[in-house]
Chain A
Amino acid sequence: MYRYDEFDHRFVTDRVNQFRDQAQRRLAGQLTEDEFRPLRLMNGLYLQLHAYMLRIAIPYGTLNSRQMNRLADIAEKWDRGYGHLTTRQNIQFNWIKLEDTADILGSLAEVEMHAIQTSGNCVRNVTTDHWAGAAADELADPRPVAELLRQWSSLHPEFSYLPRKFKIAVTGAPNDRAAVKVHDIGLRMHLNDKNERCWEVIAGGGQGRTPIVGITVRDFLPEAELLAYLEAIMRVYNLYGRRDNKFKARIKILVHELGAEEFKRQVEAEYAKKGYTEVEVDQRELQRITSYFAPPKFANLSKWSPEFEQARLNDPGFARWVKVNVAPHRVQGYSIVNISLKPEGGIPGDITAEQMRVVAELALRFSFDELRVSHHQNLVLPHVERSSLYEIWKVLKSHGLATANLGFLGDIIACPGLDYCALATARSIPIAQGISRRFADIDKQEEIGPLKINISGCINACGHHHVGHIGILGLDKRGEEFYQITLGGSSSESASIGQIIGPGFAAEQVPEAIEKIINRYLELRHDRDETFLAAYRRLGAQPFKEALYASA
């Protein structure tokens, strides 16, 4: 993975020192809250319902055991013993004190981490496929480009005060696990007929209060032009994005208001101006970055692992977990291990300090010291020998980390909601817990098959409800929580925005409503191979509406 050079170290350390001084001046009364707020937000420090919240960047979701252990230290020393993994592959701590924050940032800097640009109207953490560098279907590891973009966008003077926040996602695989079509800019790698890497540039996607699937601005952009072309897009956005209205300030609104063709025309006109060739990606620099992401030294393993096959035969619990949570690796004899942070009735994405240490140790021993955070709020051990799977599973199981529900109904995305978040209008977590308990039977979940339930506690959609196959949005109706259900969303390569199915439900009615939808799906699907999403796309909303509202 990427290692800081001297410049990176100095930059991050300087930033910690600046923040220490700013926080001290704030506590001493030399800075007002209005003066201080933008400074703390630039360092990921929010004020939430019960305390300050620190959002720490995990660039493209990649971290090593030392970093994970440091997060565990922070959880224990300065928080309440746990952290929350987010849908942007970051981690948040919920009980931070302002007076401790500079020390925490200093502690992070020691392990090459920070919280810069995890808030504010700037380019946020660049996200990617959590199986990057490991996935069997991947063309190439997208992380060198993600890192290039991170360096380019960090404190970029022109793009530090954008009309609104800006999120970039990158994928190197045809099966999109990075949701590139619902980001401000999404990049998707293709190979041209000369087998050279090109990038499909998608812009104007997003969720929030106005969910929109992005448009393809360029089909095959040569890699060397990537930064220059992104700069042209950002310039058009920076100039014409709606600074007058916060709710219309994202690039998706600009693209939507101009129309796809006019937006493309403006970007191309900007790009045709002089000077863009000067920001051509320096191939030596890209190679330097790429060398940090060189594949680990994989062993030459046999396809067949007798220990693994034996364990799978002997232990049905292990066999099920392998079937559901373990994915094929690009290298023979290796697997991708997905660690579900969605136990029955649990809080999606929450992980205790002890669990962090367990996972860090497993990464160090079995996965070339690499871990990933997925935007589904789970963890990944990307490079594991098949012969080690049983041992890993036993360790995970003894720490409540072996729930075999990846991609199933129980693998619910939920934002912190009104239990923690100052912006929320309703709670998300109890809804996730209620559904998880109602469908606790993993056999049943397996019978239902792939299903994404995403829950947000407000219209800002951190819980990605618009792209859930079943989305749930919590709102406030005269002081009471109520929940709107959408169906048919997807963040995959065939992205779609879910449609509201009908009137909303009170919190306690939601699990039953979900059950009615599922039961109707089970009645109507052709066979087990027809997923919920496929069935919904074939059938439309009507049968599900009938199931939900007919008897009411």
Chain B
Amino acid sequence: MSEVEKGQILTANRLSDGDVVFLTSSGEWSLSVDDAVLASEPTAAKALEVRGKEAEAANVVTGAYLFDAERRDGRVRAVHIRERIRTLGPSVRLDLGKQADGSGGAFPAVHE
């Protein structure tokens, strides 16, 4: 059994082009959910939110918020389908979005 780490990830849309980004442990914003830092405690999640506010104020991203996710074998799966779609791109156009350019998450929108 692989270890499953549960927690929250901070996401936003990049201001310049609206692309979906995730906050990493080094404080950068990555296009890939697998790079995201997973806050496993409420205090850590709060700290991520503070970073999000700072990035919004610095006009790097917009609309930052936390979502529930888990990390399995180094790959991140968002709990809710909405966030899984954001980590991939439209489920009806697999040729578009992160799933097409190599930055997509490992878990499909529905039915694993």
Tell me whether B97 and A50 are in contact (CB under 8 A).
yes
Which of these, B15, B19, B62, B110, contacts A50 with CB under 8 Å? B19
Tell me whether B92 and A419 are in contact (CB under 8 A).
yes
Interface bits A186-227 vs B (CB < 8 Å: 1, else 0)? 000000000000000000000000000000000000000000
User: Known contacts being A51-B18, A97-B17, is A418 close to B81, with CB within 8 Å?
Assistant: yes
Tell me whether A418 and B85 are in contact (CB under 8 A).
yes
User: Which range contains the number of B residues in contact with the other chain?
Assistant: 20 to 34
Q: Is B13's CB within 8 Å of the partner chain A?
A: yes
Tell me whether A49 and B85 are in contact (CB under 8 A).
yes
Q: Is B27's CB within 8 Å of the partner chain A?
A: no
Of the listed stretches A143-151, A278-286, A317-325, A426-434, name the one at the interface; the rest are far from the partner chain: A426-434
Interface bits A470-496 vs B (CB < 8 Å: 1, else 0)? 000000000111000000000000000
Q: Is A439's CB within 8 Å of the partner chain B?
A: no
Which residues 253-269 of A have a CB within 8 angstroms of B? none
B88 to chain A, nearest CB (A): 9
B7 to chain A, nearest CB (A): 17
A277 to chain B, nearest CB (A): 49
Which of these, A27, A96, A433, A481, contacts B81 with CB under 8 Å? A481
Tell me whether B16 and A98 are in contact (CB under 8 A).
yes
Which residues 309-353 of A have a CB within 8 angstroms of B? 347
Q: Is A29's CB within 8 Å of the partner chain B?
A: yes
A47: chain B residues at CB < 8 Å are: 13, 18, 62-63
- Classify the interface of chain B: helix, strand, loop or mixed: loop
- Classify the interface of chain A: helix, strand, loop or mixed: mixed
| Residue ID in chain A nearest B63 by CB atoms | A47
Interface bits A392-431 vs B (CB < 8 Å: 1, else 0)? 0000000000000000000000000011100010010110
Tell me whether A80 and B19 are in contact (CB under 8 A).
no
Tell me whether B91 and A96 are in contact (CB under 8 A).
no
B63: chain A residues at CB < 8 Å are: 33, 47
Which of these, A27, A28, A433, contacts B92 with CB under 8 Å? A433
| Residue ID in chain B nearest A425 by CB atoms | B82
Tell me whether B59 and A26 are in contact (CB under 8 A).
yes
Q: Is A52's CB within 8 Å of the partner chain B?
A: yes
Distance between Cα atoms of A418 and B18 in the complex (Å)? 17
Interface bits B65-90 vs A (CB < 8 Å: 1, else 0)? 00000000000000111100110011
Tell me whether A430 and B62 are in contact (CB under 8 A).
no
Q: Is A95's CB within 8 Å of the partner chain B?
A: yes
| Residue ID in chain B nearest A432 by CB atoms | B92
Tell me whether A98 and B18 are in contact (CB under 8 A).
yes
Distance between Cα atoms of A481 and B93 in the complex (Å)? 19
Distance between Cα atoms of A433 and B79 in the complex (Å)? 25
Distance between Cα atoms of A28 and B16 in the complex (Å)? 10
Tell me whether A50 and B89 are in contact (CB under 8 A).
yes
| Residue ID in chain A nearest B83 by CB atoms | A49
A507: chain B residues at CB < 8 Å are: 110
Tell me whether B91 and A427 are in contact (CB under 8 A).
yes
B20: chain A residues at CB < 8 Å are: 49-50
Distance between Cα atoms of A516 and B15 in the complex (Å)? 47
Q: Is A99's CB within 8 Å of the partner chain B?
A: yes
Tell me whether A51 and B15 are in contact (CB under 8 A).
no
B63 to chain A, nearest CB (A): 7
A424: chain B residues at CB < 8 Å are: 82
Q: Is B49's CB within 8 Å of the partner chain A?
A: no
Tell me whether B16 and A51 are in contact (CB under 8 A).
no
| Residue ID in chain B nearest A480 by CB atoms | B81
A253 to chain B, nearest CB (A): 28
Which of these, A28, A33, A49, A96, contacts B86 with CB under 8 Å? A49
Tell me whether A429 and B92 are in contact (CB under 8 A).
yes
The chain B residues found within 8 Å of chain A, CB to CB, are 13, 15-20, 56, 58-59, 62-63, 79-82, 85-86, 89-93, 96-97, 110
Known: A98-B16, A347-B92, A347-B93. 14 other contacts (CB 8 A): A29-B59, A33-B56, A47-B63, A49-B86, A50-B19, A50-B90, A50-B97, A52-B17, A97-B17, A98-B15, A419-B85, A427-B91, A430-B91, A479-B80
Subset of 12 A-B contacts with CB under 8 Å: A26-B15, A26-B59, A48-B18, A51-B18, A95-B96, A97-B17, A99-B16, A418-B82, A418-B85, A419-B91, A430-B91, A479-B80
The chain A residues found within 8 Å of chain B, CB to CB, are 26-29, 33, 47-52, 80, 95-99, 347, 418-420, 424, 427, 429-430, 433, 479-481, 507
